[in-house]
């Protein structure tokens, strides 16, 4: 990590020359104003093809133990990035086979030539595909969010940072009754653990429709900004997600994950949980990166 590498990575994150069509970038699917997610149910690649999954928010990804909704074998940002860059079925940025051409075009741009040289000082020819990946990864490691009302209340001692409703919702979230923190755990409210089989942070809702395959537990930080929800984008609102958990509680099956709720939520409990989820929005994070567009 160096300031020069991060600054270069930031430019490249928004660089349309990385796409086959010349008008698409990482930011086309990871919009800073939406905590680096998009508003689509499933993501759409540069050439218009639909991806199988919803674009994930990028929040504190430096600390992820694995990446992607259902690919526990991807353990680094550098490895993850090869997917959007090189995937062909479907195309995301569509760089496959064009790596050298793209590097050549960037090297011919005096601004980039200067920035790559500053970021990778010992190298004689620093404008390479590998260094593009390294620089963007360095930028991604700066996407740190920890200044939500929840953080200011819990870690900053600001007693007024949360409303009474959000405080009740927080107690419920961390209770065995709702069970949320059993899966959305740790500082990132995400599946950053390994289970007994060594698998990273995944859970399934058992015979509950689309989620019967194990899916990585996503972060809930800034979740109010990242609709629609779930790996397939099937819920348009947070309230619909809470309705889903309540419905699970209403018809418990023996094969359900024991951390899931065992009875439905009341209207008040749902309102409290919603208020708590809204308190995980870090406005300073969004503002810091929104200026980059
Ligand atoms: C076409 C839309 C699209 C583009 C372009 C795109 N992504 Fe993504 N990104 C996604 C989707 C969809 C996922 C979820 C992938 C999955 O697991 O199926 C994702 C997941 C990720 C993740 C994993 C986050 C986590 O918490 O596990 C990272 C990191 C990421 N993208 C970074 C990038 C970078 C860097 C670029 C540019 C080089 C990029 N993406 C370009 C759609 C896109
Ligand atoms: C058994 C583990 C587990 C428990 C318990 C659990 N979740 Fe989840 N949660 C997940 C998984 C896995 C996903 C992703 C599912 C998918 O994509 O289909 C998810 C997704 C979500 C999402 C959508 C996030 C996004 O970015 O799309 C929200 C919001 C959410 N959960 C809130 C909660 C709340 C509130 C509770 C408690 C009532 C809770 N969860 C309990 C595992 C769990």
**What is the per-residue pLDDT across 127-147, written as a single tens digit (0 to 9) for each?**
999 999 999 999 999 999 999
Residue 221 reports pLDDT greater than 80: yes
8 A C-beta contact, residue 42 and residue 53: yes
Q: Is the CB of 16 under 6 A from ligand 1?
A: no
171 to 35, 54, 269, 277: CA distances (angstroms): 25, 29, 11, 12
What distance in angstroms lies between residue 176's CA and the mean position of ligand 2's atoms?
15
Q: Which residues fall within 8 angstroms of residue 176, CB to CB, at 6 or more apart?
A: none
| Closest ligand to Cα 233 | 2
Residue 291 reports pLDDT greater than 80: no
Q: What is the mean pLDDT of the chain?
A: 93
Nearest Cα residue to atom 39 of ligand 2? 180
Nearest Cα residue to atom 41 of ligand 2? 180
8 A C-beta contact, residue 18 and residue 93: yes
What distance in angstroms lies between residue 226's CA and the mean position of ligand 2's atoms?
13
Residue 115 reports pLDDT greater than 80: yes
80 to 66, 67, 153, 284: CA distances (angstroms): 9, 7, 34, 27
Q: Which residues fall within 8 angstroms of residue 94, CB to CB, at 6 or more apart?
A: 19, 20, 21, 45, 46, 47, 88
Which atom of ligand 1 approaches the CA of 66 most closely? 27
The whole-number pLDDT of residue 293 equals 56
- Site to probe by mutation for ligand 2, drawn from 69, 168, 170, 180 as the one with most ligand atoms within 8 Å of Cβ, is 180
- Of 148 and 254, the structure prediction assigns the larger pLDDT to 148
Residue 209 reports pLDDT greater than 80: no
Residues 24-37, mean pLDDT to the nearest whole number: 97
The whole-number pLDDT of residue 210 equals 47
Q: Which residue has the tokens 């390994």?
A: 194
Report the pocket of ligand 2 as residue ranges, CB < 6 Å: 178-180, 182-184, 203, 211, 215, 217-218, 220, 223, 226, 229-231, 238, 241, 245, 257, 259-261, 273
Q: What are the structure tokens assigned to 87, written together?
A: 């995937």
What gap in Å lies between CA 40 and CA 57, rounded to an integer? 12
The whole-number pLDDT of residue 206 equals 57
The whole-number pLDDT of residue 155 equals 96
163 to 215, 225, 257: CA distances (angstroms): 32, 19, 31
8 A C-beta contact, residue 173 and residue 280: no
Which atom of ligand 2 approaches the CA of 202 most closely? 12
């Amino acid at each position: 990590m160096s300031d020069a590498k991060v600054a270069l990575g930031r430019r490249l994150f928004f660089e349309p020359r990385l796409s086959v069509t010349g008008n698409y970038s990482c930011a086309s699917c990871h919009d800073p104003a939406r905590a680096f997610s998009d508003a689509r149910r499933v993501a759409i690649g540069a050439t218009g093809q639909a991806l199988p999954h919803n674009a994930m928010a990028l929040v504190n990804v430096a600390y992820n133990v694995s990446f992607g909704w259902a690919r526990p074998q991807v353990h680094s940002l550098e490895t993850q990035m090869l997917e959007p860059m090189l995937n062909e079925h479907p195309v995301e940025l569509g760089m496959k086979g064009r790596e050298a051409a793209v590097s050549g075009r960037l090297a011919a741009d005096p601004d980039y030539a200067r920035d790559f040289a500053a970021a990778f000082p010992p190298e004689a020819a620093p404008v390479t595909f590998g260094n593009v990946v390294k620089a963007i990864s360095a930028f991604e490691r700066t996407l740190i969010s920890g200044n939500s009302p929840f953080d200011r209340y819990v870690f900053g001692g600001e007693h007024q940072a949360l409303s009474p409703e959000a405080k009740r919702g927080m107690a419920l979230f961390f209770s065995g009754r709702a069970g949320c923190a059993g899966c959305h755990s740790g500082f990132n409210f995400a599946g950053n653990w390994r289970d007994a089989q060594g698998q990273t942070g995944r859970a399934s809702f058992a015979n509950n429709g689309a989620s019967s395959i194990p899916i990585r537990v996503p972060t809930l930080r800034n979740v109010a900004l990242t609709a629609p929800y779930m790996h397939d984008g099937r819920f348009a609102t947070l309230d619909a997600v809470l309705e889903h958990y309540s419905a699970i509680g209403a018809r418990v099956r023996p094969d359900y994950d024991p951390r899931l709720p065992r009875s439905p939520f009341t209207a008040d409990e749902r309102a409290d949980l919603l208020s708590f989820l809204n308190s995980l929005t870090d406005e300073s994070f969004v503002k810091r990166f929104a200026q980059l567009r």
